[in-house]
Amino acid sequence: MLTSVPSTAHPAQLDVAADLLALLTDTTTEPRADVQLEALTLAVAADLPVLLWGEPGIGKSAAMNQLAAALDLPLTTVIASVHEPSDFAGLPVVGDDPAVQGVPMAPPDWAVRLARAGRGLLFLDELSTAPPAVQAALLRLVLERRVGALRLPAGVRIVAAANPRASAADGWELSPPLANRFVHLQWTHDHDVVVRGLAGTWPRAALPQLDPRRLTEAVTFARRAVCGLLTARPALVHRLPSSETRRGGPWPSPRTWEMTLRLTAFATAAGACRDVLSLLVRGTVGDGPGLELLASMDRMDLPDPEDLLADPGAADLPERGDLRQAVLDAVVQAVRTRPERARWDAAWAVLVRAWETGAPDLVVVPATTLAALRREDWDVPAAIERLAGVVSVDRRADRAAARVAAAAEAGR
């Protein structure tokens, strides 16, 4: 025979369940190097809207909760796809005399709460499931921080999340105007972070420590880097991708270059590593332009080849192989541009210096090219003998010069 369970037993069991749930959610945090998290916090500190791209269940929403808690910001989550355009553009409220007072656009309650708090983290989730009309209404919110007639205070930061269209529920491609307003970060899971987090310890997000002594230097460096690249590559100032999918991601425009300049200054002032800076610049202007910017940054502080030719004995060459190769090629090119006996001899002294302080194989190509620049009345300098074990330049110099002359004659 079945017996009925007293109704008083149910609340007691629910209390036990609540205790178990509390234990499961009782986690702690620890400082841990995380390139993704550092890039996110830098962009948040720079007051730029961030869009996290990742597959469903990857932990984007959980990262927002951790970020808000670590930064002590109230979190407001808005699911873009379940709202109407008027929820972001504002709802018209008719007053006593619309002809005199006009019809103000009233903001939704979540925007009013953020304004009253004066600070907070606005999380726009499921952005890729928002239809085009809603995306259009979000333009002003993301760029100008306006919701209807209300301007969100400066203490509010905006972070959004989206799934790729293939894995989004009724997904849409992001419109180019909206995509061009975000710093796009690819959010992936780290196996060790997930395992340690499930064990009760998650990485801790923290705002970057900006060095007040480096602020002016950081701004100067960022402006030199961005303006130097765009001066040499004017086609990169604005390049709208041809495919719809790529238009929904990062691409270069005057707006995103301004964002890149700001992020570069913040990363420099914070002493961020190259991986973090790479995520930020590629997530703002795209992979191609971003990698070009990073490469040009590497070459900004390279020694002037004319300085090296003037004093080869004091040449301070970069340690990194690719940068050292670039310096040696620049020295040879400088001699090619203005071929003089003294400059040719000085270039050999620079190559000897490179051979003595780095990988010998980096000297082979510049030495061979430099040998081809020899004039008939130029004696082979004694410094070349130091390179005999790397490349037999003294024996091949005449043959290289003859080949160059023959090729030039054949091309006429």
The pLDDT tens digits of the residues spanning 233-261 come to: 899 999 999 888 899 999 999 999 999 99
pLDDT at residue 271, as a whole number? 93
3 state SS of 124: strand
How deeply is 101 buried, as exposed, middle or buried, from its count of CB atoms within 10 A (0-12, 13-18, 19+)? Answer: exposed
* Closest CA relative to residue 348, chosen from 332, 327, 330, 333: 332
User: What is the DSSP secondary structure assignment for residue 249, as one 8-state letter?
Assistant: S
- Cα–Cα distances (Å) from 168 to 15, 126, 129, 147, 164, in that order, read 37, 8, 7, 26, 6
pLDDT at residue 67, as a whole number? 86
Evaluate whether 281 touches 263 at the Cβ level (below 8 Å): yes
Cα dihedral 57→61→67→72 (10° resolution): -150
What does the alpha-carbon distance between residue 334 and residue 346 come to, in Å, rounded to a whole number? 11
* Closest CA relative to residue 118, chosen from 155, 75, 148, 158: 155
Evaluate whether 320 touches 274 at the Cβ level (below 8 Å): no
pLDDT at residue 378, as a whole number? 86
What does the alpha-carbon distance between residue 181 and residue 136 come to, in Å, rounded to a whole number? 12
* Closest CA relative to residue 90, chosen from 149, 148, 152, 150: 148
Instruction: Work out the end-to-end distance of the chain between its first and last CA atoms, rounded to an integer number of angstroms.
Output: 110
Q: Nearest 5°: phi and psi at 234?
A: -60, -25
Residues 6+ apart with CB under 8 A from 324: 317, 318, 354, 358, 359, 362
Q: Nearest 5°: phi and psi at 155?
A: -80, 0
For 306-327, how does the pLDDT look when each residue is reduced to its tens digit (9 = 90+)?
989 998 888 888 888 888 888 8
Residues 6+ apart with CB under 8 A from 355: 363, 386, 387, 390
**Phi/psi-derived region of residue 286, left when phi > 0, alpha when psi is between -120 and 50, beta in every other case:** left
User: What is the DSSP secondary structure assignment for residue 400, as one 8-state letter?
Assistant: H
Evaluate whether 386 touches 406 at the Cβ level (below 8 Å): no
Structure tokens at 411: 């091309």
Evaluate whether 66 touches 291 at the Cβ level (below 8 Å): no
Q: Domains (ranges, CATH) in the chain?
A: 31-92+104-203 (3.40.50.300), 212-300 (no CATH), 305-411 (no CATH)
What does the alpha-carbon distance between residue 405 and residue 400 come to, in Å, rounded to a whole number? 9
pLDDT at residue 393, as a whole number? 45
pLDDT at residue 58, as a whole number? 81
pLDDT at residue 71, as a whole number? 84
Instruction: Spell out the per-residue pLDDT of the chain, length 412, in tens.
Output: 555 555 555 668 888 888 899 998 888 888 878 889 899 999 999 999 999 998 888 878 888 888 888 888 999 999 988 888 888 887 777 666 666 566 677 888 899 999 999 999 999 998 888 888 889 889 989 988 999 888 999 999 999 999 886 665 566 788 899 999 999 999 888 888 888 888 888 887 777 899 999 999 999 999 999 998 998 889 999 999 988 889 999 999 999 999 999 999 999 999 999 999 999 999 999 999 999 999 889 888 788 889 899 988 888 888 888 888 888 988 999 999 999 999 998 999 899 888 888 778 888 888 888 888 888 888 877 767 777 655 554 445 445 545 655 665 665 5
What does the alpha-carbon distance between residue 171 and residue 102 come to, in Å, rounded to a whole number? 37
pLDDT at residue 279, as a whole number? 97
